[in-house]
Amino acid sequence: MKAIQKKNRHASVPDEWFQWKGKDMEAAEVVARPSLSYWKDAWRRLVKNKLAMMGLVFLILLGVMAIFGPVFSPYDVNKQDLPSQYQPPSAAHWFGTDGAGRDVFTRTWYGARISLFVGLMAAIIDVTIGIIYGGISGYKGGRTDNIMMRIIEVLYGLPYLLVVIMLLVVLGPSLTTIIIALTVTGWVGMARIVRGQVLQIKNYEFVLASKSFGTKTSRIIRKNLLPNTMGPIIVQMTLTVPSAIFAEAFLSFLGLGIQAPVASWGVMANDSLGAILSGNWWTLFFPAFFISFTMFAFNVLGDGLQDALDPKLRK
Amino acid sequence: MLEVQDLHVTFTTYGGTVKAVRGVDLYVNEGETLAIVGESGCGKSVTSNAIMRLIPSPPGKITRGMIRFKGEDLVSLSEKAMRNIRGVDISMIFQDPMTALNPTLTIGTQLMEGLYEHQKVTGQEAKRRALEMMDLVGIPNPEERLKQYPHQFSGGMRQRIVIAIALICEPELLIADEPTTALDVTIQAQILELFEKIQKQTGVSIILITHDLGVVAKIADRIAVMYAGKIVEVGTKREIFYQPEHPYTKGLLRSVPRLDLKGGKLAAIEGTPPDLFSPPEGCPFAARCAYAMEVCTHVHPVKTSLSPSHQVDCWLQDERAKKLLATSSPK
Amino acid sequence: MLRYILKRLAIMLVTLWIIITLTFILMVSVPGSPFNSESSSNEIVQANLNKHYNLDQPKYIQYLEYIKSIATFDFGPSISKPHQSVNDLLGRGFPISFELGIISIAVAVLSGIILGIIAALRHNGIIDYLAMGLAVLGISIPNFILATLLIQQLAVNWEIFPVATWSSPAHMVLPVFALATGPMAIIARLTRSTMLEVLTQDYIKMARAKGLSPWKIIIKHALRNALMPVITIMGTLVAGVLTGSFVIEKIFAIPGMGKYFVESINHRDYPVIMGTTVFYSVFLIVMLFLVDIAYGILDPRIKFHKKGGD
C-alpha cells in the first residue's frame, strides 16, 4: 500500500518540472530572521519591557518637573508660613504643607533636583574614574594589572557608608562634599566591571589585528574596546544612580547630608518623622513616594537595560 | 529496539516558531551503532534530546510522532515513568566534558547517585560498581580518584567519567551527542576505541551524533544523514560511503580531507542551510544543490528504498529525473 | 588553601590599616575637633582625651599609640558623656545591635533564598513576576522610609505592633522587617538569576539524563552552585544591615550601638564617631575575610594546591 501511495505522489508531479534548475545561491543565503544592529536590537527589546519603559517615562517626567516644577509653583521653597502649617493636600497646596507651613509640592521638586543631581554626578564621576582605572588595568595586564587589582581589593574591603560618614564628618555637610564622599570609593565597582570587560575583549581577533598594524594603545582603547564594553557599563551606571540617591537621602536623614532647611527628600523625610505620629501623613508620603519610585524606576530601567544589552540572551 | 516515527519538534521563540525536527524516522537495532551526521543546526541534537525527553519545555515541544522503545511510546510517557528510563535503559553523553560534571561534587558522588536513585544498593555495592566502571573506562587509581573533584581531571579523563556515569546502570541504549568534538585529536581516538570496547563488552546500542565523518567511519554500523530537520539519506556504513545517492551526502563526503586521493580538491558545500523559521516547501537542499530541478523547489521528495537498509529522499530517484540525467547534464 | 587564606589575610590587614590610618588622619585634620583645639569646655574630657590620644605628644607618637590602643580593643573616651568610654557604649549597645542584625540577616537570607528559588522554578510565571516585582520594590524603598511607613500604618494607625525600645519579641517585628527587606530582596534576585543560570548548565542536563528526581536535582546539583554568589555578597549585606541599623535604631528608639553612633554624629562627639567607625570597620572587614574563607571551603575549585589530572 505504501508503494502505491508513493507512486501516486510521484505521478501527481507534472513532468515539465523535471528540468534542471541548478543552485540558487541567493535563496541559500537568505536568513529569515531580521538582522538588526546591536543598539537597534537592544532598543527594540527595551521597548518591549513594559516595566523598564514605565521607569524611563517616570524618570523623564521627574526630570522635567525637577526643572520646571518650582517655576509653576507660586510658593517659595523655604519660606515659612506658620499659620498655614500642616494643611492637607488641597487645590492651593497640592501636596499639602509641612510643619513650617512650607509647600510640599514645591519642596518635592527641589528635592528631585538634588537627588537627580547627586545621582547623576556620582554616576558620571564613578564611570570616568572607573573606565580610566579599569581600562588601564585590564589593558596593560601583567604586573600593572596585578598591583592595580590589589589596590581595588583593599578599597573594596572598606565599608562604603562608614567611609562616607567619616568623610562627611570631617568635610562638613554640603552637596559637593556628599558627591566627593560618595565617589571616593564608589568607582571601585565600575573599575572592576570595566577591567573584566576589557580582559575579555582584548584578546578578540579584531583587537589583535589592529595591534599588529601598530595602532596606538589609546586609540585601541577608544575605538575598539570602549564600544564593546558599553553594555555592562551603562547597566552599572543605571544602578549607581539609585544607590547614590539612596545614600544622599540616608545621610540627609541622619543629619549628615544636605542640611535643613534646604529641601532634599532625606531632609523632608527626617523633618516629618514627628509629624506622622500626629497623622499628617502627607509630609512623609510625598518625599517617601518619590524617593522610592525614583529608585524603583532606575532599578527597573537598569534591569531592562541589562536584559536588552546582553546579546547572549537573544532568542 | 528503538524506533522513531515521524518525529516533529518545534521551538517557540521571540522571532517565531523554529521547526527544528520535521518528521524524522529512524530505528536502532540491538548492539549496533547508528550515527546521525549533519551540519550544526540540522536537528541532530534535538532529535537525541527528544528521545530522552530532555527538550527544554517551554520553548521546545514534541508536536508529533512516536518514539517506541521496547514496546512503549516514550512521547506519551509521564515524566515520572520517563525518569525510570533515563539513566537506566537509555543514557546520554554530552558534548563538553568540561561542563557536564558538577564542579562542586566529587566524581564518586556523581558516579554513584544514578545507582542509588534507581537500584537498591548498599554503599559498598555502589562503590564496587563505581570502581568497576572506572576500570572499564580506563581511569587509573580509581579508589583515590573517586574522592576527587572534576577540576582535578583532564578533558579526556572527564569524558571517560561521563561515559562511566552513563553506563553505571547498564543501559541498553547510549546516546552520545558529539562525544569527541571538544577533545584533542589524540584523545578523540582513545575515546572512540573506548566506545568500541564498551560495545563489545556490554552489547549496548549506541546512537552517535556527530558532524565528523571521520568518527563515523571508525565506529558506525549504519549512518543517517540529517539536513534541515529531516533525515535525507540512511544506509549502512558501506552504502553511505560507497554508494551515496543524495547530493548532500555526496557533498559531505567530498568535503572530508582524504589522503588517498592525490590532487583532489577539497569541495565545501556552498551556501547555508535554510532557516527553520520558514523551511522551504520543496527539498530543503534544493537551493544549494547542483542537481536541483524545478520539482525540487516545489514538492518535498518522497522516500525511495534502494535496498532494505538504504533509503534516500531525493527527486533524482524519479524515473523522469533519470531520463533527464541520461540526456543532459545540469547547469 | 593555606595560600588562599594567607593572601586574604594580608589584604584584610592592609584594609584594616588603611581604615585606621584614615580615621586618624581625618580626625587630626578636622577643624574644631578636640584633637586640634586647645579650648575644651570640660576638664575631665580634656584629661581623658589627653590620656587616651597622647595629645601632648608629637603626631607620630599619637598615631602609634592610637594603633596600639585599637589593637587592644580600646576605642577611646567620649566627649559628650564624660564618664563613659566608647567601650562602655559598645558594651551596652552592641549586644542589642548584634541581636537585631543577626535576626535581620537570618530572616533576609532564609526568605530571600526561598523566594529566589521559587521564582526561578516558576520562571516567567505569575509567581516569578510577583516575587521579582516585590524584590525590586524592596530594593527601591529605603529602609528608613519603610521604617517610618511601617510605624505610621502598623503602629500608629492600626496599633498592631508596639514601637520604641527593644523589650519583647513584638517590639522586634517592625525593625527587623524594615531592616531585612532590602537584603532579602537582593538575595532573592541574586538567587533567582544564578539559579536560572545554573539550571541551564550541562551538569543539570546530565543529572536529568541520569533520571534523578527534580527535587534531588535542585537541592543537590543546582542549589549549592546557585548559592555560591549569595555567599560572596554576604559581606556587603552585613555592611548594609549594619549601616541600616543606624537609622532603624534611631527611628525605633532602640538603645543599640547605632543609636549612640547617630547621637555622637549629631553632637559631633568626634572620639565616639572615630571609635565606633573603627570598631565597625574592624568588624566588617573581619566578616568579609570570613566570608572569603567560607567561599574557599565551599568551592572545591579554589583549593588549587592539590592538582590532579593527567
pTM score of the predicted model: 0.80
User: Which pLDDT belongs to residue A62?
Assistant: 92
To the nearest whole angstrom, how far is the Cα of B263 from the nearest Cα of chain A? 25
User: Which pLDDT belongs to residue C33?
Assistant: 62
Contact residues on chain C for B87, CB-CB shorter than 8 A: 209-212
pLDDT of A83 strictly over 50: yes
Count of CB atoms situated within 10 Å of the CB of B250: 17
Q: CB-hemisphere CA count at 13 Å for C187?
A: 30
Radius of gyration of chain B (CA): 21
Say how far residue B237 (Cα) sits from the centre of its chain.
15
* Residue-wise pLDDT tens digits, A100-127: 778 888 888 888 888 899 999 999 999 9
Contact map slice: B 277-316 vs A, CB within 8 A: 277-278, 280, 286-299, 302-304, 315
The H-or-E segment that residue C192 falls in is helix C169-199
Q: What integer best gives the mean pLDDT of chain B?
A: 86
Q: What integer best gives the mean pLDDT of chain A?
A: 78
Give the confidence band of B234 by pLDDT, cuts at 50, 70, 90.
very high
Contact call for A20 and B15, based on CB within 8 A: no
pLDDT of A5 strictly over 60: no
Give the confidence band of A315 by pLDDT, cuts at 50, 70, 90.
very low
pLDDT of A4 strictly over 60: no
* Residue-wise pLDDT tens digits, B241-286: 998 989 899 888 887 766 565 555 556 677 777 777 777 888 888 8
* Residue-wise pLDDT tens digits, A122-165: 999 999 999 899 888 888 888 888 899 888 888 877 787 888 88
Total number of residues shown for chain A: 315
User: Which pLDDT belongs to residue A10?
Assistant: 61
Q: What is the mean pLDDT of residues B156-178?
A: 90
User: Which pLDDT belongs to residue C31?
Assistant: 66
Total domains present in chain A:
1
| Residue environment code for A120-140, b if the CB has 16+ CB neighbours within 10 A, otherwise e | bbbbebbbebbbebbbbbbbe
Q: Which of C18-27, C96-105, C170-179 has the lowest mean pLDDT?
A: C18-27
SS3 state of residue A288: helix
The H-or-E segment that residue C15 falls in is helix C2-29
Say how far residue C28 (Cα) sits from the centre of its chain.
27
Q: Which residue in chain A has the smallest CA separation from C155?
A: A277
User: Which pLDDT belongs to residue A3?
Assistant: 43
Give the confidence band of A214 by pLDDT, cuts at 50, 70, 90.
low
Q: Which CATH number fits domain C93-255: 3.40.605.10, 3.10.20.340, 1.10.3720.10, 1.10.230.10?
A: 1.10.3720.10
User: Which pLDDT belongs to residue C40?
Assistant: 52
Q: What is the mean pLDDT of residues A242-253?
A: 87
pLDDT of A71 strictly over 90: no
Mutation pick from A154, A168, A284, A296 vs chain C, by most beta carbons of C within 10 Å, is A154
CATH code of the domain in which A64 resides? 1.10.3720.10
Q: pLDDT exceeding 70 applies to what percent of chain B?
A: 95
pLDDT of C118 strictly over 60: yes
Q: What is the mean pLDDT of residues B11-16?
A: 77
Q: Which residue in chain A has the smallest CA separation from C285?
A: A157
CA dist C188 and C112 (Å) reads 4
User: Which pLDDT belongs to residue A220?
Assistant: 65
In a domain, A49, yes or no: no
Give the confidence band of C36 by pLDDT, cuts at 50, 70, 90.
low
Helical segments of C83-125, H only: 86-121
DSSP state of B122: -
User: Which pLDDT belongs to residue C304?
Assistant: 44
User: Which pLDDT belongs to residue A268?
Assistant: 84
Q: How many interchain CB pairs under 8 A, B with C?
A: 93
To the nearest whole angstrom, how far is the Cα of B65 from the nearest Cα of chain C? 21
pLDDT of A231 strictly over 80: no
User: Which pLDDT belongs to residue A224?
Assistant: 60
B66 reaches C (C-beta below 8 A): no
Give the confidence band of A6 by pLDDT, cuts at 50, 70, 90.
very low
C284 reaches A (C-beta below 8 A): yes
- Name the CATH topology of B2-89+171-326: Rossmann fold (3.40.50)
Give the confidence band of C8 by pLDDT, cuts at 50, 70, 90.
confident
pLDDT of B222 strictly over 50: yes
CA dist C5 and C223 (Å) reads 25
Q: CB-hemisphere CA count at 13 Å for C221?
A: 30
Q: Are strands B173-177 and B205-210 parallel, antiparallel or unpaired?
A: parallel
Q: pLDDT exceeding 70 applies to what percent of chain C?
A: 90
Instruction: Give A160 or A215, the one with higher predicted confidence.
Output: A160
Domain ranges of chain C: 93-255
Q: Which residue in chain B has the smallest CA separation from C213?
A: B83
Q: Which of A210-219, B17-26, B126-135, C253-262 has the lowest mean pLDDT?
A: A210-219
CA dist C77 and C83 (Å) reads 8
Contact residues on chain C for B88, CB-CB shorter than 8 A: 211
Q: What is the mean pLDDT of residues B325-329?
A: 78
CA dist C62 and C51 (Å) reads 11
In a domain, A37, yes or no: no
Q: Which domain holds residue A298?
A: 59-313
* Residue-wise pLDDT tens digits, A278-302: 777 777 888 888 999 999 999 889 8
C-beta separation of C94 from C256 below 8 A: yes
Say how far residue B152 (Cα) sits from the centre of its chain.
29
Domain ranges of chain B: 2-89+171-326
Contact call for B302 and A24, based on CB within 8 A: no
User: Which pLDDT belongs to residue A222?
Assistant: 63
pLDDT of C268 strictly over 50: yes
User: Which pLDDT belongs to residue B310?
Assistant: 92
User: Which pLDDT belongs to residue B296?
Assistant: 84
pLDDT of A35 strictly over 70: no
Contact residues on chain C for A300, CB-CB shorter than 8 A: 136
Contact call for A288 and C239, based on CB within 8 A: no
Q: What is the mean pLDDT of residues B113-141?
A: 88
pLDDT of C195 strictly over 70: yes
Q: Which residue in chain A has the smallest CA separation from B284?
A: A28
User: Which pLDDT belongs to residue B267?
Assistant: 64
